[in-house]
């Protein structure tokens, strides 16, 4: 009887040792891995930095890749969040529908694709029709330099110009936005395409050094409608033709680090980060003014 009793105690002890308590998702602590299109690296890095100050128990690991690859990794559950400049396409939405997942993308900011040229090149205006011709004409001599194939910079241009294919003979991939800038600095006849957020922060010395090293190309829907350089004012007034939104995607329903980060980035603290970076916050930030009713002294 005593042996049988000891045997039961041993079994219970072993069972208790092998039982692990699964920790519930928590916005205050945890580690996640997210996919980020490299063209929006500065704004996402700034949001992650600010988020960590408010939530020091969290860690967000970033993997930089073309946005379509990031969405694919999100859909096959290789990671739990993707930061892109587009919503899901029809094929991706169908996959979510088949899995019974409700799609709720979060818009965080208004960014843009900036066109840049060498400092020595003073031809700094272009219409969308001229740009379309450069991308499709086999005889075009202008080198068009993107950060990566299938990146958001290229996707935005192709969608805006309603292009299915391009002439690849004069289109080059530089393997990153900084590399695009370096290429343009060495190539007087090239036009580069970068994320505006790489050069938008007026308080950041590195961003301003990059901006001063190149010429911005003013873009117009047509000559009659005029040309607009990319800057906060033109972006805020929706004058610049090559704008794009920054989206945060997650399929996670629980309140873990993913949804905590999205809430932060889309609420007042994160929207102030967006504004500080020189981009347009998607959500209006209420401004507070203190008015003194006392008359001013002469």
Backbone dihedral angles phi then psi of residue 123, each to the nearest 5 degrees: -85, 85
pLDDT tens for 9-35 read 444 444 444 444 567 889 999 999 999
Helix axes of 257-266 and 41-54: crossing angle, nearest 10 degrees: 110
Same fold flag, 30-109+245-281 and 111-243 = yes
Beta-carbon count within 10 A of 125 CB: 16
Q: What are the helix (H) ranges across the chain?
A: 2-18, 41-54, 67-75, 90-98, 128-136, 152-160, 177-186, 205-212, 232-236, 257-266, 268-276
What average pLDDT score do residues 205-224 get? 97
Domain boundaries, the chain: 30-109+245-281, 111-243
Q: For 142-180, b where at least 16 C-beta lie within 10 A, e where not — what string? A: bbbbbbbeebbbbbbbeebbeeeebeeebbbbbebbebb
Encode pLDDT of 106-155 as tens digits: 999 999 999 999 999 999 999 999 999 999 998 888 999 999 888 899 99
- pLDDT in the model for residue 139: 86
CA-nearest of 114, 118, 107, 130 to 240 is 114
Per-residue pLDDT at 21? 56
Helices (H) and strands (E) in the chain, counts: 11, 12
Q: Residue 230 above 90 pLDDT? A: yes
Residue 286 has pLDDT above 60, yes or no: no
Q: Which CATH number fits domain 111-243: 1.10.287.370, 3.40.50.300, 3.40.190.10, 3.20.20.70?
A: 3.40.190.10
Domain 30-109+245-281 has CATH 3.40.50.1370: no
């Amino acid at each position: 009887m005593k042996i049988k009793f000891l045997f039961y105690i041993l079994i219970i002890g072993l069972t208790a040792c092998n039982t692990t308590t699964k920790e519930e998702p928590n916005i205050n602590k945890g580690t996640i891995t997210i996919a980020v299109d490299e063209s929006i690296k500065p704004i996402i890095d700034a949001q992650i930095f600010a988020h960590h100050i408010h939530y020091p128990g969290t860690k967000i690991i970033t993997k930089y890749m073309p946005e379509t690859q990031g969405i694919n990794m999100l859909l096959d559950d290789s990671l739990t969040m993707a930061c892109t400049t587009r919503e899901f396409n029809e094929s991706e939405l169908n996959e979510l529908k088949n899995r019974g997942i409700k799609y709720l993308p979060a818009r965080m900011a208004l960014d843009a694709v900036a066109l840049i040229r060498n400092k020595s090149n003073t031809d700094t205006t272009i219409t969308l029709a001229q740009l379309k011709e450069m991308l499709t004409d086999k005889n075009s001599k202008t080198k068009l330099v993107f950060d990566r194939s299938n990146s958001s910079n290229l996707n935005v241009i192709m969608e805006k110009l309603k292009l299915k294919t391009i002439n690849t003979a004069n289109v080059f991939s530089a393997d990153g936005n900084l590399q695009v800038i370096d290429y343009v600095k060495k190539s007087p006849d090239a036009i580069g395409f970068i994320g505006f957020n790489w050069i938008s922060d007026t308080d950041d010395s590195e961003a301003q050094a990059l901006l001063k090293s190149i010429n911005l190309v003013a873009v117009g829907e047509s000559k009659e409608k005029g040309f607009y350089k990319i800057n906060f004012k033109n972006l805020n007034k929706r004058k610049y033709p090559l704008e794009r939104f920054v989206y945060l995607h997650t399929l996670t329903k629980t309140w873990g680090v993913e949804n905590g980060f999205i809430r932060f980035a889309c609420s007042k603290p994160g929207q102030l980060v967006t504004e500080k970076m020189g981009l347009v916050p998607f959500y209006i930030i209420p401004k507070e003014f203190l008015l003194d009713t006392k008359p001013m002294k002469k």
